[in-house]
Structure 1
């Protein structure tokens, strides 16, 4: 390593944030990245640990010690080469990945982990500034045509890899712009969409054709899944027109809360609010937009999507924001000798929470109450684990005022009609049934139809989507050509 004793000499340095009062006035990113000299110091903390668990902690298996060493020595150009060798879009992961690599860092056993995510962020931002990120068109074309359905991180990663292998790739997206849930799920204040736009231009120069506003199959009647499609194409047509089809749509069927009063107006899925706001941010118009201005907002669900609803509601100017989590409050600090190198269960406070939010744990919603058809509040009860089950605690009933309720309890499966249209077999959770075995990995039961990302594994992280897209691309290339040089 660049400085063998660096981990003993330097403390972890966190990326900074703009002040709350400033960032709440807009939807722009507010993270202040590390400067070059700060990145060098942070990279110096990377230990010569022998077995770098961070590599395995990272779903795309980033070669972390290598790019840390290159940053320490000021070789930023080779650092981005190493980073791109495993990750097509480090500007996405460097902003919104929760960094399981840092949980697995050897230094994290009894100290603060190396700031791997902040170094990755610095490398890719420097690479764009220096003009090192350029199109990589194939040297020869194969004459094979591949359709990729869903332009989120899995679809984009797969499409880019397949185009670089020489195939003619068409990427289908049901909304008006590519990016999938990156575009219409992740708020702009966490990741501005210019990062997607730059990659789209690069991929177009590499030969990828983007077809937006095209729905493959049809959405179920009354579906709350966001779609602004203006055209429909049948699965049968895709199978007839292409040599291989890869399904990479997101897991967009939101988990509902079927309790009394659910029919009241003012109760929405998070994925109704978030796509609308992102569309409006970029000049689009939305009929009857969901707004939190001056309202008492209840967010049900304690994960990242719930946190995104908190940040968006605060930017609207909500009177108050309260977030419910049905699970008990986790410990502030994990038992590291017990959990390392795995992802620990501990209390996580996001930047949105710091902007203003009351958090309630071990709370279950019993009923929504309303007046004149509109939600005005809800009734709750505290719960606890007993004999492996969550049970209500008598005497803990409570009522909350609510003008707007946002359901952010996760996603159950992808749009079923897409899989049904292709005749793809599903697993017990409603995802596409396709293994990751070396022999025929990512292939479904339908000839020449593959599945990856949320479509196959269910709701997950952007870094897992990129990994699956890359691996699926390799399998598709192997299927089409009988051999492949694409990396896993």
Structure 2
């Protein structure tokens, strides 16, 4: 595929805009518009500005359609993508692709427009006209309510070149340029296309496009050069001027410390740029002089905070050696620099802002007197341009006049950011949001939460029901696949939440909590409606072990009509959940309710019964046996001296005696998993314990525990002793080797190496949470074959062993696992015994308008059932790849005869930035893997994508590449190409003909 974008003609842009809006109510895929109110107008550079926010110089201001989409959704200040003397193919060859990674904090390795400078100028002027007529035609605001700000770099020689000089002159006064006159003529010649725009409106469109400029300089540019550039643009060109300033003005020590303190210690950067870039002591007098020069000419002057912050590529983030950081991690640096300059100049230096601004902080930034604000990273995430609407609405304020920047308010933002949850990095690396599946060409919309759940719980369905207050119905959906709603609603490790698309907005939908809401409100009604099914299946099943896996197997088999007896060696069902997990994690009453659900279903429960002999069961008439005996063999930690208490034994005793144990004042827990966190929290609650130290050989970031478990341990007062490897315990102390993190390996993971130092940790008791083992000897005694690790050898699909009709499930299969993985195993075995699928998939009917109303909107966690209303309805409409594409190159279309919307990728609009790869829930890149529309046969030859190009519009003759073969097909002809693909092509040619290149 070629990464060269081909701009559209103004005629195609206008046709696309008007046709799409009339047919579908959208503009370049944006479903909602922002309508400006003149009460909130501001003034800057002597011109009106309806909102003080817009896209930064970057991917959102490179093509005309990008600017139009941004305008439609509320942008009014556009910092156009930087132009420089190097452009086009020469520059494109220097930009490694993919060049954007924005799944959390953002990184990029591109810096200015990839178009040729004359092309870029034409795109900006086409966008100028398009936004003008959109304002009037769609009632979005005044035709003069927005401003373009040009960005130029990177040295004076380049800026004074004929190419850039012509760009500057034309963007300031474009009236006589060919592109301006061409667009104007096209509008006048096609004035009949409009309902609200008149010829007088068109004739009134000014050619004075830009009267302001932002100067972008390369790292290491000398202060004298920066000042010369500014003086040229001010005195020779007469522009209101902003100068981009870098976070390097803060100094290396400040930047390194704030990054480390906020959890970005893994972001690598040296002090080179801090030494080589503009120094603060040089910047202040330079800015003072430039303020004076502009004041004498009645021009506005200020700084743009911030320019790029270069960091090292260490974890294969992008295919380059250095990249530029932005987004949530840049904000602490950017706002710190703003505060420093605000104080230095007593608020008199104007500050234009970019660097991690988003919905959560933009109002405070503007209230501090810092505006205009331009954004990029937030628009690169799901919701895309429509995130702009909320931000524009937040900034609506009557009669707001710039009177200066408040040093006090800006300093307060610096203090607040250090603990702001939207900017502090999570303790542990984010889990992969990807499913281990390739995106299909058609019907790709899917619920990542359900795909991430081991039992494929129908989460969107029960969330919708909870939101509607239909708790009994929600419980029916939950218990279709999950017989333990209280246990999983309380302590499930919730892998579903790690996949939730809401993570890219603010925070996952609290799916587990919504399950508990359904259980607490719908349980009685559900139980009242359950009648034990009649015995309709041959055979009898014995389930050995009453933990989650055994409970699930028994439930599903009994529901299917089979006679089932569940044998449990203790006096109650629940297994590790009841006997080991502390009561402060889950109350006994919750476990009791799930156990009662099994009995109501008709499962025969035999407590205080230990089964060690399969022959006894066979002789008693049991035809199938499911072993759910857990990982009952204690893990062993070898110390040079002394011994450690087993974590599960400690937890069981803690629970039995309600914490009334004698383990001393100082307790050390060794381990970094969830069991270690439970153990440490329980030890902290044990009688007489004053300190609990958790020892681990690496840092928190590399602990296997879930983020939630780790945070609860921290909040519970557990003292983490990182980078320590235990050696021996004696005389009330644990002696440890001191470790340090090593270099990154090829996968981006850091190892640990010994430092040669040792450290003692107070330890009256040492508890080892190092993992339990499966009961190998028990399996062997039954004749079950085991592998070299002592685990039962089973069929992955059915969990059946070498003994016909004998199955192994749960922790006893692969070692300690999660509750929901145990349920999954129990269902597998039950379906194998039954010989058929025992659960149904349930999808909700989602209202499209309701789904689209949630997209682009930041919606923090809600109380109670309202939280379920944050669900984005992904199985009905995903469109992440559509939303995050700055160029609008991924398009959602309606195909007659197909239930779901389909995604088409438009090759000529794509520059392979790779952003859609980050947010596609599949392990795929839509720009490479979705069916592609090519502008012509040459573009198709330059690509390996499956797709098509139209050869004859009237006959609908197309060249099609499908699974490596190429066909020429005309509508009506027989072909091997699937009907769905042909329907997609036909829909593009008929209903979306504006996609076809002129």
Q: Residue 605 of structure 2: SS of its match in structure 1?
A: strand
Q: Is the 8 A contact 1:144 1:243 kept in 2?
A: yes
Pick from 303, 319, 323: which aligns with 2:673? 303
Aligned ranges 1:65-104 → 2 under 5 Å: 65-104=460-499
Q: Deviations over 1:415-447 (max 9, x none)?
A: 22321121111133322111223xxx2110012
For residue 466 of structure 1, what is the aligned residue in structure 2?
Answer: 823
- For 1:208 and 1:183, how far apart are their aligned partners in 2? 19
For residue 614 of structure 2, what is the aligned residue in structure 1?
Answer: 235
Q: Residue 169 of structure 1: SS of its match in structure 2?
A: strand
For residue 447 of structure 1, what is the aligned residue in structure 2?
Answer: 804
For residue 641 of structure 2, what is the aligned residue in structure 1?
Answer: 261
For residue 227 of structure 1, what is the aligned residue in structure 2?
Answer: none
Question: TM-score, with normalisation over the residues of structure 1?
Answer: 0.74
Compared with structure 1, are the counterparts of its residues 167 and 188 closer, same or farther at alpha carbon in structure 2 (3 Å cutoff)? Answer: same
The answer to whether 1:248 aligns with 2:596 is no
How many residue pairs get matched?
398
Compared with structure 1, are the counterparts of its residues 279 and 239 closer, same or farther at alpha carbon in structure 2 (3 Å cutoff)? Answer: farther
For residue 33 of structure 1, what is the aligned residue in structure 2?
Answer: none
- For 1:390 and 1:423, how far apart are their aligned partners in 2? 41
Compared with structure 1, are the counterparts of its residues 139 and 84 closer, same or farther at alpha carbon in structure 2 (3 Å cutoff)? Answer: same
Q: Is the 8 A contact 1:55 1:62 kept in 2?
A: yes
Aligned ranges 1:312-331 → 2 under 5 Å: 312-317=682-687, 318-330=689-701
For residue 407 of structure 1, what is the aligned residue in structure 2?
Answer: 768
For residue 24 of structure 1, what is the aligned residue in structure 2?
Answer: none
**Larger Rg computed on CA atoms:** 2
Q: Which runs of 5+ in 2 are unaligned?
A: 1-30, 33-382, 391-443, 842-998
Pick from 716, 721, 726: which aligns with 1:355? 716
Aligned ranges 1:32-181 → 2 under 5 Å: 50-128=445-523, 130=525, 132=527, 135-181=530-576
Aligned ranges 1:365-404 → 2 under 5 Å: 365-370=726-731, 376-384=732-740, 392-404=753-765
Q: Give how far 1:53 is off.
A: 0.8
Q: Residue 481 of structure 2: SS of its match in structure 1?
A: coil
- For 1:311 and 1:213, how far apart are their aligned partners in 2? 30
For residue 279 of structure 1, what is the aligned residue in structure 2?
Answer: 656
- For 1:347 and 1:330, how far apart are their aligned partners in 2? 13
Q: Give how far 1:75 is off.
A: 2.2
Q: Is the 8 A contact 1:329 1:362 kept in 2?
A: no
- For 1:290 and 1:95, how far apart are their aligned partners in 2? 25
For residue 725 of structure 2, what is the aligned residue in structure 1?
Answer: 364
Q: Deviations over 1:350-381 (max 9, x none)?
A: 324312110022211011114xxxxx221001
- Structure having the larger proportion of residues in helix: 2
- For 1:235 and 1:142, how far apart are their aligned partners in 2? 21
Question: TM-score, with normalisation over the residues of structure 2?
Answer: 0.38
Q: Give how far 1:486 is off.
A: 5.2
The answer to whether 1:477 aligns with 2:856 is no
Q: Give how far 1:174 is off.
A: 2.3
Q: Deviations over 1:37-94 (max 9, x none)?
A: xxxxxxxxxxxx9421111111111111122222222222222221222211121111
Compared with structure 1, are the counterparts of its residues 90 and 297 closer, same or farther at alpha carbon in structure 2 (3 Å cutoff)? Answer: same
- For 1:163 and 1:116, how far apart are their aligned partners in 2? 28
Q: Residue 497 of structure 2: SS of its match in structure 1?
A: helix
- For 2:554 and 2:774, how far apart are their aligned partners in 1? 20
Q: Give how far 1:102 is off.
A: 1.2
Q: Looking at both structures, which has the greater relative contact order when contacts are Cα pairs under 8 Å and sequence separation is at least 6? A: 1
For residue 813 of structure 2, what is the aligned residue in structure 1?
Answer: 456
- For 2:774 and 2:484, how far apart are their aligned partners in 1? 23
Q: Deviations over 1:247-301 (max 9, x none)?
A: 11212323211122234xxx310111111232335xxxxxxx9825652110111
- For 1:131 and 1:473, how far apart are their aligned partners in 2? 22
- For 2:531 and 2:724, how far apart are their aligned partners in 1? 51
Compared with structure 1, are the counterparts of its residues 206 and 433 closer, same or farther at alpha carbon in structure 2 (3 Å cutoff)? Answer: same
Q: Give how far 1:386 is off.
A: 5.3
Q: Residue 393 of structure 1: SS of its match in structure 2?
A: strand
Q: Is the 8 A contact 2:725 2:738 kept in 1?
A: yes
For residue 200 of structure 1, what is the aligned residue in structure 2?
Answer: 595
Q: Give how far 1:169 is off.
A: 1.5
- For 1:379 and 1:409, how far apart are their aligned partners in 2? 18
Q: Deviations over 1:114-140 (max 9, x none)?
A: 121211111111112555565441133
Query: Which one is further off, 202-211 or 61-70?
Result: 202-211
- For 1:108 and 1:202, how far apart are their aligned partners in 2? 33
Q: Give how far 1:331 is off.
A: 7.7
